[in-house]
Amino acid sequence: MSVLSGKKIVLGISGGIAAYKTAHLVRLFIKAGAQIQVIMTPASKDFITPLTLSTLSKNPVHSSFFNEDDDNAQWNNHVELGLWADLMLIAPATANTLSKMAIGNCDNLLIATYLSAKCPVYFAPAMDLDMYKHPSTIASFHALHQFGNTMIPAENGELASGLSGEGRMAEPENIIAFLEADLESKLPLKGKKILITAGPTYEAIDPVRFIGNHSSGKMGFDIAECAANHGAEVLLISGPSHLNVKNSNINLIRVVSAQDMYEVCHQYFNTMDVAICAAAVADYRPMQVADQKIKKTEDYFSIELEKTKDILASLGQIKKDQFLIGFALETQNEIENAKLKIQKKNLDLIVLNSLQDEGAGFGKSTNKVTFIDSNFSIETMELKSKETVAQDIINKIIQQYHA
């Protein structure tokens, strides 16, 4: 999945021949899963029509502060557009537009939106080779760089003037690749390795029966997606679950029993930065597993159980710098018991699930949690979707590394 997926992008188009390429650029953004709003300068309409771009972007195109032909015209709110955007790209950025951006000459909607935008701004220059090298253009680049904007350098090749050299707007595919690489390198968990356990475990009784639980794995899978979307390399170790992963930065290892999960966790834990144990691991397993299917010959039948290994506690014992997060489900003295668990299992953070709230827990799509850290600071959250709880957990990890 592209890092651009779900991103809200304002594409500002200024008046150069490369504007014709923005039709393809918009298509690539849409294909990557982004939402696009297009702003055109008046001059750019000589090179490509607003109809083409509104059709491809699936949104009306903005080009003036209001429609002069319509007495009831609505004000095109550049502040709203600027705040809506997660990212603004000006492509093609002509020498004229770049110079207006550099000095704040706000005479069209594109520049007004640029000046209002709080998001990262990228620009892809397009002009003739001598214009590209002119000291005034270079001064614009320098000023924009100082403002924190990022240039997507022009490419070398044939120019509209017939000359050949540097100044061609980067090809749409290269603009997308540049943005993806830049955004990925800035993701807050880039370079971090996170191990996550999820789902139930099945403890065999005989070849066809097992002891298990109703965990769907959703909480762990949501945490994995969220961590990967923030740049982490994720190892997801899941017990039996129907769920699948979307992000290619998640390596999913499927296991069955608590012992399998324990072994895989220990195989990889040393190389991890963070471990989150969200699995509903069986606490007990049958002492004997029958080789053959057990026949119903007896009226009463009992199975002797033994404790499984506590994976979370075992990771707590060997952890070095790893940030270790566990879950707890308590029915009484919730906070006190959770605090004891932090100490007993040597955790950095515990996510306390409440059973008291309707909509929270196993098989549900929502959860209500309280965070308690190793200093016993407590933060109680609202009832939220599991995706949002996953985001809250990932935010805690981001805080840990970017405090």
Residues that bind ligand CTP (CB under 6 A): 197, 258, 277, 279, 281, 283, 308, 310-312, 326-329, 341
213 is catalytic: yes
Neighbours of 202 (CB within 10 A): 20
- Of 241 and 308, the one with the shorter C-beta distance to ligand CTP is 308
Rounded to whole angstroms, what are the CA distances from 250 to 79, 165, 222, 320, 385?
A: 38, 43, 11, 23, 21
CA 360 distance to own-chain centroid: 24
Q: Shortest Cβ distance from residue 386 to ligand CTP (Å)?
A: 15
Q: Shortest Cβ distance from residue 328 to ligand CTP (Å)?
A: 4
Could you give the 3-state DSSP secondary structure of residue 55? helix
Cβ–Cβ under 8 Å, residues 325 and 298: no
Contacts of 124 (CB under 8 A, 6+ apart): 89, 90, 91, 92, 93, 151, 152, 154, 169, 170, 175
> Which letter, b or e, does each residue of 57-78 get, where b requires 16 or more Cβ atoms within 10 Å of its Cβ?
beeebbbeeeeeeeeeeeebbb
- Of 13 and 311, the one with the shorter C-beta distance to ligand CTP is 311
> Which one from 77, 174, 213, 251 is the annotated catalytic residue?
213
- Looking at 186-310, list the stretches that DSSP marks H as alpha helix, in order from N- to C-terminal side: 218-229, 258-268
Cβ–Cβ under 8 Å, residues 255 and 239: yes
**For 120, which DSSP code?**
-
> Among all residues, which ones are annotated catalytic?
213
